[in-house]
Structure 1
């Protein structure tokens, strides 16, 4: 059963973390950030602020409540979130998050009611969707990594693989890349990426969007083609449209070596993934330098919470 007295625990925790995070966000002029992530066992969800909206994703776990008690628990939790974050309840969007095997499953459309908004980050604009998918379209944990790509992109030919909604592509274009090529298997996300590019005033015709299976696409590339590559693959992917099943632990060496083949000598690959037990087999990767930049790319709102790994690889 749901114990209403536990709500005070949630309120106390939110008050404490929000005070600290709001200060840090204001200092850095950040308007979209994570406030809470499964901090208390009894409240297994993440809470993200997107300017004047809140996105809550509930992790699916056995909770021992019947449907009515669960609804009551969730409604009361949302009232606490609304109160502490000072956001009206009608501007709070809730999703139930299951542990999915593949990115394709994870990105299936969830509802027919739609709430899209334009969110801002580092002077750039991104369409986010708070209602229809399990993820909003902007992964907040890569805020610093995106900035690194922008800082290095001037005059470079950039490749963004598994590009999702193209936030890295927008940052690269904003950094003055000569060309950004964005590749994804989802037409929905490619169209979204193109929309984000246009939203920021960039010519989408100059920056190609390629609908392809990344593993097959890499085989078609000439050697030494790109100066800078972003590679942020799913942990597993078994989409019906993929010829091969991707397992990032098993396949990362061959995937990275294919990417490096298409990278110019001295070029950079930013490689990240979300697999908790990931171990990089560095001695098998054809690179001159590999640097683990996980800690460097850890934003203030993901401290001690971030499970992804991030590497800067030089050919």
Structure 2
């Protein structure tokens, strides 16, 4: 019989500190537990009055009944500590990704609802896709974009649901383009824009393959002062001309983005491939600063959840 008390105790300790911190910082979606104890390989995220519970694949073997009892115990401990009902806890099993697309459907519908973050609002869904519509680990960088965007032209590449663009627009960006290839996520971005009172004439949504967009943008002599590029580690989407492999394709992407960056501009380049290494040739061409430590929020115990760099012209 598993003893769930270490798990419940850790949740209790974390919530005591983080709940106050989240309220103080006007954050409704945050990480409560981040695989703190090896025997409980979960990420527990709070989204308003609901929990997004992700179980990480460890390869452990359990009998089906034993496994279901173990999961029930985990949910019970979360319910006990948070005071939330069982139906407020949404479970996902994260298998090891082997060359799949980043944003996989789960086969469930789930319900769309709104969470607030630093005065902005975002639509999320805890069931429909592997991810929820808001990457919590990029909260710090979103906030920085909001602080820096005043009077600037902003470009968001591999934009997902457009959260960086929402921060840029509400931070005073004069113009922005939000680029992704997925209609599903661009529609989601559109709803986020509407939720935050953004003008779509001023803040454009562009459906394009990023590689092609960068080529066309260069031909059209587009210029931006602030950019975010957060590509998936790997994508074999049929809509793309080529398979994207971020380790292999990083120089092509960064060089392409830098051609559209104004002389004094700044590019945030990030990805979440564990084994990723920045190409040294890029550091010779541009001024690059690793800001990964500052960009991972304090509610994440796993400080290697992503890597992030500031890239400027020399």
Band the TM-score falls in, shorter-chain normalisation: over 0.9
* Partner residue of 2:117 out of 117, 121, 128: 121
Q: Alignment partner of 2:108: what SS?
A: coil
**Aligned-residue offset at 1:250:** 1.6
Q: Alignment partner of 1:4: what SS?
A: coil
Q: Alignment partner of 1:177: what SS?
A: coil
Q: Deviations over 1:183-222 (max 9, x none)?
A: 1111100000011001101112332211111112111113
**Aligned-residue offset at 1:285:** 5.1
Instruction: With the length of structure 2 as denominator, give the TM-score of the two structures.
Output: 0.94
* Partner residue of 2:233 out of 227, 232, 235: 235
Equivalent-residue separation in structure 2 for 1:212 and 1:288 (angstroms): 26
1:46 and 2:62 aligned? no
Matches for 1:33-112 after TM superposition, within 5 Å: 33-102=30-99, 105-112=101-108
How well do the aligned residues superpose, as a CA RMSD in angstroms?
Answer: 1.7
**Aligned-residue offset at 1:236:** 1.2
Equivalent-residue separation in structure 1 for 2:161 and 2:19 (angstroms): 26
Q: Deviations over 1:284-307 (max 9, x none)?
A: 357542111111112110144433
Cross-structure match for 1:215: 211
Q: Alignment partner of 2:137: what SS?
A: helix
Instruction: With the length of structure 1 as denominator, give the TM-score of the two structures.
Output: 0.94
1:177 and 2:200 aligned? no
Equivalent-residue separation in structure 2 for 1:8 and 1:78 (angstroms): 13
Contact 2:101 2:234 in 1 (8 A): no
* Partner residue of 2:199 out of 183, 200, 203: 203
Contact 2:102 2:235 in 1 (8 A): no
Equivalent-residue separation in structure 2 for 1:226 and 1:33 (angstroms): 31
Equivalent-residue separation in structure 1 for 2:107 and 2:76 (angstroms): 23
Equivalent-residue separation in structure 2 for 1:288 and 1:216 (angstroms): 22
Contact 1:282 1:290 in 2 (8 A): no
**Aligned-residue offset at 1:61:** 2.6
Equivalent-residue separation in structure 1 for 2:252 and 2:299 (angstroms): 33
Contact 2:102 2:234 in 1 (8 A): no
**Aligned-residue offset at 1:30:** 2.0
**Aligned-residue offset at 1:105:** 2.6
* Partner residue of 2:146 out of 150, 153, 168: 150
Matches for 1:153-172 after TM superposition, within 5 Å: 153-172=149-168
Equivalent-residue separation in structure 1 for 2:283 and 2:205 (angstroms): 28
Cross-structure match for 2:258: 260
Contact 2:113 2:124 in 1 (8 A): yes
